[in-house]
């Protein structure tokens, strides 16, 4: 193994150790998050790095507590996918009577405006255990005084007066029920008279009622004739219902409409899937001491599948500097993602090749940001060695659009160590244009 190869492997280990130190030391995190402020009059017992929960689920943490205008301002960080509205409620809760305290949040109603990064939520001041016990003891003392103080001497008199009042109320109710009994009898008599009047009205309108029944019978007969015509196929509606050929045509029309609707939904779904990203990489060759530039466009027509079109070593090389790589070579790749692994192949730097990327710790966040990769191309090379060009390296995703890494290029020959920065920017306009072009195809 050459000295340059050893140096490259040493740098790879160094990059991995640096990423490990970033995650383990301090309060640093790669989580996509934002901050809000919660104001309280009292935050006694809330730890400086306490947890933040919604419905018992941990969604963030306390970043710091400070005094501002006589109130306690709690700075809170939340995961980016957690949306808090302006009418959200915040209170200090605990896991038990003497358990650790944490900040409990509600998300608020969807009608209220969203609290942006740096926004403020007014918290509900907690009722401390000491205050609750003090209030309970005061109430208990009042009850005891009522039974043992001077007022207790009049308690017997008050009870006697209460019993007299109950007796008077009972007598009043008895008299009221007697009077209501008379009224109920009158209501029954009135209902009997009403029934007799209704019988008289019915007798007077007996002829009109018979005529109404006759009209209903005529309407029923006409409706029956209309249904018979439909069964025989007479008229437009009858032909539509009884004619077999017309029925088949109607079924075919409905089937065509259904198939067209399904195809439209499928095409629109594919249109929404299309995603495009601009890809830019700045590489520094530690062996030859100069920079290289790569640029390209990645198109994903469906989740997990992508096409990549770009160029490597763009531009002219520095004067009087040896560069084993060809200038302005092209990349055209087709790739597929299988869980934690991505496999791709095609033209790599204008030569046929294949590659693979793997996230070995993809099940654990934030370790899933670490990715190792290897690619081989130019399999027909004869000089300076009769072996393909092989690049091996790794990178750490710092944000969704920026990654840093290192790789050993041309392991069998040059073994040059390249450190690099990769930037990716999503472009919805190109995705929209590609979708429109796809819809326009015959």
pLDDT value at residue 19: 63
Is residue 302 domain-shared with residue 392, that is, in the same domain?
yes
- Together in a domain, 280 and 260: no
Shared domain for 265 and 379, answered yes or no, is: no
Same-domain status, 260 and 359:
no
What secondary structure, in 3-state letters, does 363-382 show?
CCCCHHHEEEEEEEECCCCC
Domain for residue 198, yes or no?
Answer: no
375 and 435 inside one domain: yes
pLDDT of residue 97: 63
Q: What is the pLDDT of residue 141?
A: 64
Note whether 261 and 278 are same-domain residues: no
pLDDT of residue 407: 95
Among candidate residues 73, 105, 126, the one where a domain is terminated:
126
Q: Are residues 349 and 295 in the same domain?
A: yes
Pair 258, 382 in one domain: no
Q: Which domain holds residue 250?
A: 243-272
Question: What is the structure's pLDDT at 332?
Answer: 96
pLDDT at residue 202 in the model = 62
Residues 426 and 282 in one domain: yes
For the chain, 442 residues long, give each residue's pLDDT as a single digit of tens: 677 777 777 778 777 777 666 555 445 555 688 999 999 998 888 888 899 999 989 999 999 999 999 899 999 999 999 999 999 999 998 876 666 889 999 999 999 999 999 999 999 887 665 666 667 667 666 655 655 555 555 666 666 777 777 777 777 777 766 666 666 677 777 767 776 777 666 666 667 767 777 888 888 888 887 777 777 766 666 666 566 676 677 778 878 888 877 776 776 666 667 889 999 999 999 988 889 999 999 999 888 899 999 999 987 776 777 788 888 999 999 999 999 999 999 999 999 999 999 999 988 888 889 999 999 999 999 988 999 999 999 999 999 899 999 999 999 998 999 999 999 998 888 766 766 666 555 5
Question: What's 326's domain CATH number?
Answer: 2.40.128
- Is residue 56 domain-resident? yes
> What is the Cα Rg of the chain in Å?
42
Same domain? For 279 and 428 the reply is: yes
Number of domains forming the structure of the chain: 3
Task: Examine residue 317 and state whether it is found in any structural domain, yes or no.
Answer: yes
Question: Are residue 282 and residue 263 in the same domain, yes or no?
Answer: no
């Amino acid at each position: 193994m050459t000295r340059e190869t050893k140096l490259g492997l040493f740098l790879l280990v160094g990059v991995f150790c640096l990423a490990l130190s970033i995650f383990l030391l301090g309060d640093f995190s790669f989580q996509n998050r934002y901050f809000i402020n919660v104001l309280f009059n009292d935050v006694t017992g809330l730890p400086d790095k306490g947890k933040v929960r919604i419905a018992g689920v941990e969604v963030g943490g306390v970043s710091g507590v400070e005094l501002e205008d006589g109130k306690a301002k709690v700075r809170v960080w939340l995961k980016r996918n957690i949306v808090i509205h302006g009418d959200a409620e915040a209170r200090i809760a605990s896991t038990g009577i003497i358990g650790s305290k944490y900040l409990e949040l509600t998300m608020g109603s969807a009608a209220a405006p969203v609290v942006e990064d740096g926004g403020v939520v007014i918290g509900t001041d907690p009722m401390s255990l000491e205050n609750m016990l003090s209030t309970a003891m005061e109430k208990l003392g009042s009850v005891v005084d009522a039974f043992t103080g001077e007022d207790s001497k009049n308690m017997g008199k008050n009870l006697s007066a209460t019993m007299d009042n109950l007796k008077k109320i009972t007598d009043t109710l008895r008299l009221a029920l007697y009077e209501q009994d008379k009224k109920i009898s009158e209501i029954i008599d009135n209902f009997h008279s009403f029934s007799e009047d209704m019988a008289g009205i019915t007798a007077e309108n007996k002829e009109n009622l018979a005529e109404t029944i006759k009209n209903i019978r005529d309407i029923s007969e006409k409706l029956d004739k209309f249904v018979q015509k439909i069964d025989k196929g007479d008229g437009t509606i009858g032909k539509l219902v009884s004619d077999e050929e017309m029925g088949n045509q109607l079924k075919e029309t409905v089937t065509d409409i259904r198939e067209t609707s399904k195809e439209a939904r499928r095409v629109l779904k594919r249109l929404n899937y299309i995603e495009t990203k601009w890809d830019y990489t700045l590489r520094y060759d530690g062996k030859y001491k100069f920079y290289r530039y790569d640029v390209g466009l990645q198109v994903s027509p469906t989740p997990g599948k992508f096409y990549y079109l770009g160029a490597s070593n763009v531009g002219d090389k520095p004067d009087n500097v040896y560069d084993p790589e060809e200038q302005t070579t092209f990349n055209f790749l087709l790739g597929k993602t299988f869980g934690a692994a991505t496999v791709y192949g095609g033209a790599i730097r204008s030569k046929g090749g294949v590659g693979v990327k793997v996230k070995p710790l993809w099940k654990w966040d934030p370790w899933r940001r670490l990715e190792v990769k290897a690619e081989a191309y130019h399999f027909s090379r004869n000089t300076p060695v009769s072996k393909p060009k092989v690049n091996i390296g790794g990178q750490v995703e710092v944000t969704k659009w920026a990654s840093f890494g290192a790789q050993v290029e041309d392991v069998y020959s040059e073994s040059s160590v390249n450190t690099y920065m990769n930037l990716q920017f999503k472009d919805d306009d190109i995705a929209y244009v590609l979708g429109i072009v796809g819809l326009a195809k015959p």
